Amino acid sequence: DLSGKTAVITGSTSGIGLGVAHELARAGANVVINSFTDRDADHAVAREIAETHGVAARYVQADMSDPAACAALIEAAGACDILVNNAGIQHVAPIEAFPREKWDAILAIMLSSAFHCTAAALPKMRAAGWGRVVNIASAHGLTGSPYKAAYVAAKHGLVGLTKVAALETAREPITANAICPGYVLTPLVEDQIPDTMEKYGMERQEVIEKVMLERQPSKEFASTEQIGQTAVFLCSPGADQITGTTISVDGGWTAL
Ligand code: NAD
């Protein structure tokens, strides 16, 4: 039961971050939703979570590519008992053609933001006498793929940061872990299906199994709810001695 705890989830207006926010709220946590935009729809996401789960939920705009905005997000949250570093983007290109600004943006949003948010959150967790850092890494935090230099480097870096955060808090009631999802059917992924069907002249199911889930032996997507429930587990007493490690939710990808 996470009643009375406050969770900050970066990049949580859609996809995995939104799924994690819903599951933490279902478990009773108050949640702070974040993205870099400031639209009515962003605040509506927070209102819907509050109404659905009967918790306090609010939206705080902060661009995770900006170190000062990362610190400001944690400050604006008030309490931060649970920090979920989730914001992320992707860009696919061979190393020699990888745009420098995409490399910088991916490292900033997916790795440096986790450092800045963790640095701002740990004093609050220490003051509260309890804390959980949950980093949303990836199967690409443990394995590589061609053309994803920045993403794979950022996710491996995030797994490394997770270990250091765990060691620095090892004697305290604070843990830090990374969840490593395989392919998850988020709106972002769903949107790619029609184009890929056209490109390869394949049916929807064929695209999913042969193109998208090529490396996922279960041939099924993980769901945002499953990632959220893994985060809830990491926040439960059963996970008190789990720290500095990764939990794969990847249908067997990293067993290959
Ligand atoms: P998504 O695009 O649905 O969600 C990404 C979220 O990050 C959005 O809310 C977006 O607004 C936010 N965001 C982007 N740039 C931001 C910025 N500068 N500042 C603040 N917020 C920003 O994608 P998703 O699939 O839900 O991905 C979420 C996380 O999960 C990412 O870190 C991604 O690498 C990781 N992941 C996804 C998959 C997958 O298959 N979908 C697999 C493994 C890991």
Residue whose Cα lies nearest atom 20 of ligand 1: it is 35
Task: Decide: 65 in ligand 1 pocket, CB within 6 A.
Answer: yes
Query: Nearest-CA neighbor of 135 among 108, 106, 104, 166?
Result: 166
Q: What is the pLDDT of residue 247?
A: 98
Which atom of ligand 1 has the smallest separation from the CA of 222?
40
Domain identity same for 106 and 200? no
Closest atom of ligand 1 to CA, residue 16: 26
Q: Tell me: do 131 and 191 sit in the same domain.
A: no
**Domain range for 204:** 185-221
Specify the residue for token string 């440096």: 112
Mutation pick for ligand 1 pocket among 12, 20, 35 (CB with most ligand atoms within 8 Å): 35
Question: Residue 1: inside a domain, yes or no?
Answer: no
Tens-place pLDDT, residues 67-116: 999 999 999 999 999 999 999 999 999 999 999 999 999 999 999 999 99
Tell me which amino acid residue 180 is: C
Contact 153, 140 (CB under 8 A): no
CB under 8 Å to 104, separation ≥6 — which residues?
none
pLDDT at 192: 83
> What is the full per-residue pLDDT of the chain (256 aa) written as tens digits?
999 999 999 999 999 999 999 999 999 999 999 999 999 999 999 999 999 999 999 999 999 999 999 999 999 999 999 999 999 999 999 999 999 999 999 999 999 999 999 999 999 999 999 999 999 999 999 999 999 999 999 999 999 999 999 999 999 999 999 999 999 999 878 888 998 999 999 999 999 999 899 999 999 999 999 999 999 999 999 999 999 999 999 999 999 9
Residue 188: CB within 6 Å of ligand 1?
yes
Is residue 157 one of the residues assigned to a domain? yes
Identify the burial level of 21 via C-beta atoms within 10 angstroms of its C-beta, where 0-12 means exposed, 13-18 middle and 19 or more buried.
buried
List, as one string, the DSSP characters of 84-110. EE-------B-GGG--HHHHHHHHIII
On whether both 10 and 35 belong to a single domain, the answer is: yes
* Catalytic residue positions, numbered: 151
Q: Are residues 158 and 90 in the same domain?
A: yes
Total domains in the fold of the chain: 2
- For residues 29 and 6, the answer to whether their CB atoms sit within 8 Å is yes
Q: Do the interacting molecules here have an ipTM over 0.95? A: yes
Residues 165 and 201 in one domain: no
| Residue 160 and residue 45 share a domain | yes
Q: 60 exposed, middle or buried (CB, 10 Å; 0-12, 13-18, 19+)?
A: buried
Q: In this structure, are 139 and 199 located in the same domain?
A: no
Q: Whose CA is nearest to atom 33 of ligand 1?
A: 88
